[in-house]
Amino acid sequence: MKIEQIYTGCLSQGAYYIESKGEVAIIDPLRETDQYIEKAEQDGATIKYIFETHFHADFVSGHIDLAKKTGATIVFGPTAKTGYEMHEATDGEQFKIGDITITVLHTPGHTLESTCFLLTDENGKATTLFSGDTLFIGDVGRPDLAQGATGM
């Protein structure tokens, strides 16, 4: 299993490349998608899933472009509605990538569809939580954004 963070300091944006047994998942991809395709080619792997933790208002995601180029499935959490093809996951739904599993944890607050993704390794041990803008080191994402946008 390989997990690589791809961080863009100017946007404070972290994307993740996860590979196991020739299958890849990308979480919150940046707009420039060739880097993911090149990494997968170097690993002799196929990009299977593109996970989005939430709708991003502060940067342009490359999920649609990456899905078109690779045939990977875009996955959002519950309540997500889009004008393009994607899989609206259910809370607790699991996705296999090689020997690992990614579990959907619906965590509405920052946005209504905000979702964390819990990675379980090949031994069945939960090892990594990809929290998007739900949790930060020493802080939490702003839940007032979703409330304001929906008049809640």
- Pull the structure tokens for residue 12: 């404070």
| Contacts (Cβ under 8 Å, ≥6 apart) of 128 | 3, 118, 119
53 compared with 149, residue with greater pLDDT: 53
47 compared with 79, residue with greater pLDDT: 47
Instruction: Give the other-Cβ count within 10 Å of 118's Cβ.
Output: 16
State residue 132's pLDDT score.
74
Share of the chain above pLDDT 90, in %: 51
Confidence of residue 9 (pLDDT cuts 50, 70, 90): low
SS3 for 111? coil
Pick from 79, 28, 70: which is nearest to 45 by CA? 70
SS3 for 66? helix
- Pull the structure tokens for residue 145: 């954004």
Q: Is the pLDDT of residue 8 over 80?
A: no
Residues 53-107 pLDDT 10s: 865 555 567 888 999 999 999 998 887 787 888 899 999 999 999 999 999 998 8
Share of the chain above pLDDT 70, in %: 74
DSSP H or E segment with residue 47: strand 46-51
In this structure, which amino acid lies at residue 114? S
**Lowest-confidence region among 15-19, 124-128, 143-147:** 143-147
Instruction: Give the other-Cβ count within 10 Å of 140's Cβ.
Output: 12
